[in-house]
Amino acid sequence: MTERSAGATLVRGGTVITMDDARRVIPDGAVVIEGSRITAVGRRDEVTAPAGAAVLDARGRYVIPGLIQAHLHLCQTLFRNLADDLELLDWLKLRIWPFEAAHDAGSMRSAAELGIAELLRGGTTALLDMGTVGHYDVVFEAAERTGIRLTGGKAMMDLGDDVPRGLRESTRASVDESVALAQRWHGKADGRLRYAFCPRFALSCTDDLLREVGSLVAGANDGVMMHTHASENRTECRLVRERFGRENIHALHELGLVGDRAGLAHCVWVDESERALLAQTGAAVLHCPGSNLKLASGIAPIPELMEAGATVAIGADGAPCNNNLDAFGEMRLAALIQKPRLGPRAMPARTVLELATRGGAAALGLDAEIGSLEAGKRADLVVLDPGRIASFPGDEPYGRVVYSVSADQVEHVFVDGRPLLRDGRLLTLDEDEVMTRAGSDLARVLSRADTGT
Ligand SMILES: [Zn+2]
């Protein structure tokens, strides 16, 4: 499919939740899309669209910025429901790494398409992804074809005795392949596809690899990112401390990895000095409450991180540790899990929607382009129906979106002005075909996977 931008569209009526600097919420509003960009946002009677613009009637609906999930593993979507009730290091060693090692290009395509179909259906328009070690071209191809906005990269793993043969790579090969992927894909599709170097976590990478990634990212001036996991689990933190003689975030910082183009998933176990360092450096904390609960990792101190001034975004992590890729579910959890500890006013609904829109955009370094509905920004937007029975009645839009709307209430999705979901139907993917192919690809992967059972 060729890259094309749609003609003009007027999204008319409905409540526009702009998430702009003033946090305007416009009842009976309108949004004009021309090509890949938003050209006007305002009250319906103030906004004019070019002659001949298509009209999308949004009366009774909410119009929100496309949701952004800043930590996902599309490659794991095929392994949903196959790794339940384990803690992180067992989950990786007994299930996820053997499964990932058994991937081939065809199964990667199925995993990516299954994940992208779920994301678009649920109003997620942009993601930060971490792949497995191989086949990452396939993920970019799937994003290019389906129209979602993807920043991602192959996982880098050059250390660890428990890593299966199919994943363990040499430092040189890991860096060379990552650089080649970045050269092939970063900035493609009018900037919709971008590269992130993805050292998996400190324990699966040598000092040499981590240092080299730090200098590659620091030396780049094209927005390429670094994306890793950090301080998710107490055993992981202890092993990092034993190896480096300091806390995880400090160790990563000394290796040159913690800066304003870094995204660090989880940060559950970070002390006050690590929180301050994350804030000072401008690194983004990628909060995954569902995964943190399911893997029994803990509750990330997000209010404390925000108080310190850190950038925070949210994500569902991988399907096998969640088990959905649902931004609405993740927003709800992000709000709820802090309240028993800090009281009901901790993490109010508006703050949580900020994490899933503006926070995600900032984490991706795309805050000038996405994250709010404003003239000049990319036309990544979602129209949802808040009037269905489970979220009816009520007129407090932030609370309604965060606490009661679910992914199946999303009706229309645009990315770069291109409609990807219309009336709840995917336009760039055939769901039945994706699921049929995923089933047969999974059988092939499982027949190869050495899980020791
Ligand atoms: Zn992850």
Q: What average pLDDT is seen over the chain?
A: 96
pLDDT mean over 361-387:
98
CA–CA distance, 281 with 46 (Å, rounded to integer): 42
- pLDDT of 3 over the 70 cut: no
Tens digit of pLDDT for each residue in 301-359? 999 999 999 999 999 999 999 999 999 999 999 999 999 999 999 999 999 999 999 99
Assigned superfamily of 67-363:
Metal-dependent hydrolases (3.20.20.140)
Tens digit of pLDDT for each residue in 108-132? 999 999 999 999 999 999 999 999 9
pLDDT the model gives residue 1: 34
pLDDT the model gives residue 281: 98
Ligand 1 mean position to 1 CA, how many Å? 30
pLDDT the model gives residue 6: 52
Tens digit of pLDDT for each residue in 28-45? 999 999 999 999 999 999
User: For the chain, what is the radius of gyration of the CA atoms?
Assistant: 21
- pLDDT of 5 over the 90 cut: no
Largest CA distance in the chain: 66
Q: What is the pTM of this model?
A: 0.97
* Cα 230-235-237 angle, rounded to 5 deg: 40
Residue whose tokens read 């690590």: 274
pLDDT the model gives residue 7: 82
Ligand 1 mean position to 57 CA, how many Å? 38
Ligand 1 mean position to 14 CA, how many Å? 36
CA–CA distance, 422 with 424 (Å, rounded to integer): 5
pLDDT the model gives residue 452: 74
Instruction: Answer with the residue of higher pLDDT: 376 or 395.
Output: 376
* Angle, in degrees to the nearest 10, between helices 207-219 and 171-185: 20
Please, which contacts does 58-61 make with residues 24 or more away whose CB atoms are closer than 8 Å? 58/11, 58/12, 58/13, 58/14, 58/383, 59/12, 59/13, 59/14, 60/13, 60/14, 60/385, 60/387, 61/13, 61/14, 61/15, 61/383, 61/384, 61/385, 61/386, 61/387, 61/411
Ligand 1 mean position to 325 CA, how many Å? 12
Amino acid code (one letter) for 276: A
* Angle, in degrees to the nearest 10, between helices 105-121 and 136-146: 40
Q: Which helix (H) or strand (E) holds 265?
A: strand 262-266
Instruction: Say which DSSP state 19 is in.
Output: -
Instruction: Answer with the residue of higher pLDDT: 411 or 163.
Output: 411
Residue whose tokens read 């299930």: 95
Ligand 1 mean position to 226 CA, how many Å? 14
pLDDT mean over 161-180:
94
Ligand 1 mean position to 300 CA, how many Å? 14
pLDDT the model gives residue 453: 61
Residue whose tokens read 């000072």: 280
Integer distance in angstroms from the first to the last C-alpha of the chain? 42
* Angle, in degrees to the nearest 10, between helices 136-146 and 171-185: 20
Ligand 1 mean position to 196 CA, how many Å? 14
Ligand 1 mean position to 293 CA, how many Å? 13
pLDDT the model gives residue 373: 98
Q: Given this chain, do its domains 9-65+370-426 and 67-363 carry the same CATH topology?
A: no
Domain ranges, ordered by start, for the chain: 9-65+370-426, 67-363
CA–CA distance, 379 with 366 (Å, rounded to integer): 13
Tens digit of pLDDT for each residue in 212-251? 999 999 999 999 999 999 999 999 999 999 999 999 999 9
Position 4 confidence tier, pLDDT thresholds 50, 70, 90:
very low
Ligand 1 mean position to 71 CA, how many Å? 6
CA distance to 158, 172, 403, per residue, from 208 (Å): 10, 10, 45
Burial of 453 (0-12, 13-18, 19+ CB in 10 A): exposed
Name which CATH class applies to 9-65+370-426. Answer: mainly beta
SS3 267: coil
Task: Please enumerate in sequence order all residues whose Cβ is within 8 A of that of 230, keeping only pairs 6 or more positions apart, or say none.
Answer: 201, 202, 248, 249, 252, 264, 265, 266, 267
> Which string of b and e fits 207-233 if b means at least 16 CB within 10 Å?
eebbebbbebbeebeebbbbbbbbbbb
* Cα 354-355-359 angle, rounded to 5 deg: 95
Ligand 1 mean position to 180 CA, how many Å? 23
Joined together, the tokens standing for residue 234 give: 């107490």
Other beta carbons within 10 angstroms of residue 411's beta carbon come to 18
pLDDT mean over 136-144:
98
Tens digit of pLDDT for each residue in 346-364? 999 999 999 999 999 999 9
pLDDT mean over 430-449:
96
Ligand 1 mean position to 241 CA, how many Å? 20
pLDDT mean over 75-92:
94
Amino acid code (one letter) for 83: A
Extended strands (E) in 315-417: 381-384, 410-415
